[in-house]
Amino acid sequence: MNLFSVGISHHTASVDVRERMWLSADEAAGVLSALKEHFFAECMVVSTCNRTEVYGVLRDGDVDEGAVKRLLLDAKKADEGVRPDHFFTHHAGAAVHHLFKVAAGIDSMVIGDIQILNQVKEAFQSAGEHHVLGPIMNRLMQATLHVGKRVRTETTLCEGAVSVSYAAVELASKIFADLSRKWALLIGAGETGELTIKHLAGKGIGHIKIANRTRAKAEALVAELGGTVVDFEQIVDALRTVDIVVTSVNSPSYVVQPEHLYSVMRQRGNNPLFLIDIGVPRNINPASRKIENVFLYDMDSLNAIVDRNLEKRNAELPRVTTIIRQEMVEFFRWHRSLQVAPTIQDLHAAFEQVRQQEVEKNINRFRPEDRELVELVTRRIVNKLLHQPLSMLKEGSENGSGGPETINRVKVLRELFGIGIKSKRDE
């Protein structure tokens, strides 16, 4: 198989190196065109924040790996800081295996990455739009997307929050059945707090309030997500009207105390209040947990949830590996058939040509009423002669166990019978 892949990822390079190799849509289109022109019969490019990878079917059996890397470096003018050893290369089955792992989400920085399959799908679609796919890459695309789909439907690899911000939202979803009817307050617009409130917005939270010491940052976030800005000095009063509170304040002392919450809960009619403290140091006095219907989670609580979910995802790896192995068997069975089917057709054609030539030379030796029988008998002889070698070829191709042996059989048969080899008289 002339499949080849080369790339750079979080396994081989730091983020500053990966950033230099990231390809925009226009850059990827130019790279695809150049790769098709110089190296590949078919190809595609995947470029995300964690990887820039090329997959292609080589025109010839060999490739100048350095030249492919050079093309990528030139496309980004990234000589400085990007070295050849930042790249990986895979050939044939190893390239297929790597792509299947990427699509499955087990080659990502976070196991079970739910975004990468869509990114791979978009890469294939882009290659198709730029007319650089062919029969092998099209089949590889189908197999790759099937791997990703099976992993998501047959395993729990992608389930459970594996970030603090999403763990907080997952907890909120368990406490409140319908987030669309709930209000949330973000106190402090730090990075993790901002991510958490964005996840809540993505889950359809009913209304968002944001309080930050720097009001301009709160206003910018409200402009992006919608909602209301709250004066930082009014956060305790704001607790009365919300159901979920996310705190992410850089403060040496607690910004929410139990006495604040006792007063607020009486005004709320003791309706549940969900508090997510992701400040370091903590923003909410942990004694607040003792208050009825106050649910307080801090970084340790959320990290414990993340750790449990990561353990569950790791436990799914054997099942994912089995799916990848099964799909590789199917893909290579199909690929072997590409070599077997033409050989079967060519053998039939070669034997049939000899049969017809000999029958034509000798047909006048037979009575007219016997000539139809001659045709029948000679065809049966050809079929019997071909039965064993063709059965061996089909068996090796269909049962998935042929591998290199099947390829060698194809090669030997073609050489023995001169299939695809021009004689001097034909030239």
pLDDT score at 426: 45
Q: What angle do CA 129, 43, 404 make, to 5 degrees?
A: 140
pLDDT score at 126: 96
Report the C-alpha gap between 23 and 321 in whole angstroms: 30
pLDDT score at 407: 66
CATH of domain 164-307: 3.40.50.720
Q: Do domains 3-157 and 164-307 have the same CATH topology?
A: no
Start-to-end CA distance of the chain, whole Å, equals 29
Contact 15, 33 (CB under 8 A): no
**Strand 244-247 and strand 273-277: pairing?**
parallel
Report the C-alpha gap between 101 and 107 in whole angstroms: 6
Report the C-alpha gap between 284 and 291 in whole angstroms: 13
Computed from CA positions of residues 69, 71, 73, 79, in that sequence, does the dihedral angle turn out positive or negative? positive
If one counts every other C-beta atom within 10 angstroms of the C-beta of residue 196, the result is 28
Average pLDDT per block of 10 residues along the chain, 427 residues long:
92 93 94 95 95 93 87 89 91 96 95 93 96 95 97 95 90 90 94 91 95 94 96 95 95 94 92 93 95 94 93 96 96 80 81 91 90 92 87 65 63 77 44
pLDDT score at 189: 87
pLDDT score at 424: 40
Q: What are phi and psi of 81, to 5 degrees?
A: 90, -10
May I ask the CATH class of domain 3-157? alpha beta
DSSP assigned state of 290: G
What's the pTM?
A: 0.75
The domain limits of the chain are: 3-157, 164-307, 332-416
pLDDT score at 377: 92
pLDDT score at 343: 79
Active-site residues, by number, are 49
pLDDT score at 397: 59
